[in-house]
Amino acid sequence: MAKKKRRIHYRQGAEVDAMREAGHLAAAILQETAKLVAPGVSTAEVDLAAAEMMKARGCRSAFLGYRNFPGHICISLNEEVVHGIGNPKRLIAEGDLVKIDVGIVTNDGWVGDNAMTVPAGKVSAEATRLMFGTEECLEIAIRHAYAGRRLAELCQAVEDGATDFGYTVVREMVGHGVGRDLHEEPQVPNYWDRFTMGSGPKLAPGMILAVEPMINAGVPEIRILSDNWTVVTEDSRLSAHFEHTVLITEGEPEILTPRPRLIEKSAVEGLKMTA
């Protein structure tokens, strides 16, 4: 029997309201969790604190137990791209680049998913520019999230933006639709190959996408550590990750996980970069 093709969901009315609530909740927890990042704090402390925030707000982790993932959030340092696991022996150090990915499930069963990369203390110019560039790629992608346009345009915009900064995108890890399940159709890669992938579906009102650029300072290749979860860059150079859950509407795209921008352009202008 042929494998049944998964369909794209188009949310309306009360469903959109529920996803908006889930997204705002996930955004609030992400921002509060990010404030805990500091030199000397263990990644396990941050993970457990996020779990307490979820409990206090009446939701649960979308990640804990998903395919046996052991953490409440993903917390990844420096060359770790995504899916890092909180560890009481892993202390955050001055200058670390810390990726925090928070996914929650409301009592009604709706998922909110978002991520950001934050500095621990004073970080290098290279790290600051990478954070800015990755967040910029996310915003560029969202500017393509209009009904009637092709998903391919949004995805290609991420890689084009990364290339303009001199960076590369991780191809093996992708964004995705989100709603009742953490991972729904369509997949949202951070690149597009028209020869093998066609033009992709048209964006339409009611689609909800988790758009999440994962950008490397060096080569695009990755590998997975012995814990079978943590993804790292092949060349051990820095990586950054930003994510928003975005609703396609009849007009402007709506960010369901709103938060202030981390780094403004003025902060990176004039930075002296090392070779």
CATH number of the domain where residue 67 is located? 3.90.230.10
DSSP three-state, residue 202: strand
Mean pLDDT of 41-53: 98
Region 220-242 average pLDDT:
98
231 Cβ contact list (under 8 Å, min separation 6): 76, 80, 81, 82, 83, 170, 173, 222, 223, 224, 225
pLDDT band of 269, cuts 50, 70, 90: confident
Residue 165 confidence (pLDDT)? 96
According to the model, what pLDDT value does residue 2 have? 40
Proportion of the chain above pLDDT 70, given as a percent: 96
- Per DSSP, 91 falls in state B
Query: Per mean pLDDT, which range of 69-78, 209-218, 257-266 is the poorest?
Result: 257-266
Tell me, yes or no, whether 50 lies in a domain: yes
14: tokens are 């009360």
* Residue 6 maps to a domain: no
The residue ranking higher by pLDDT, 258 or 263, is 258
Domain that holds residue 151: 14-257
User: 50: pLDDT confidence band, cut at 50, 70 and 90?
Assistant: very high
pLDDT at residue 227 in the model: 97
Q: Which residues touch 200 (CB under 8 Å, ≥6 apart)? A: 150, 151, 152, 155, 186, 192
Percent of the chain with pLDDT over 90: 90
What is the count of structural domains for the chain? Answer: 1
Residue 2 within any structural domain of the chain:
no
pLDDT band at 99 (very low <50, low <70, confident <90, very high): very high
Mean pLDDT within 67-81: 98
In whole numbers, what is the pLDDT of the chain averaged over residues? 95
Does 93 have pLDDT greater than 70? yes
In-domain check, residue 252: yes
Kindly state the average pLDDT of the residues 138-151: 97
Residue 114 three-state SS: strand
pLDDT at 271: 65
- Across 54-87, b (16+ Cβ under 10 Å) vs e yields beeeebbbbbbeeeebebbbbbbbbbbbbbbbbe
Any residues with CB less than 8 A from the CB of 235 and at least 6 apart, and which? Answer: 218, 219, 221
Q: How far apart are CA 255 and CA 210, in angstroms?
A: 10
pLDDT, average across residues 168-190: 97
Q: Is 270 inside a domain boundary?
A: no
For residue 265, is it within any domain? no
CB 130 within 8 A of CB 201: no
pLDDT surpassing 50 at residue 275: no
Q: If pLDDT is split at 50, 70 and 90, which confidence band does 1 have?
A: very low
DSSP 197: H
Asked if residue 275 belongs to a domain, the reply is: no
Residue 266 lies in a domain: no
Lowest mean pLDDT among 18-22, 212-216, 268-272: 268-272
pTM score of the predicted model: 0.94
Chain segment 5-14, per-residue pLDDT in tens = 579 999 999 9
**How many angstroms separate the CA atoms of 272 and 275, rounded?**
10
pLDDT tens digits for range 115-130: 999 999 999 999 999 9
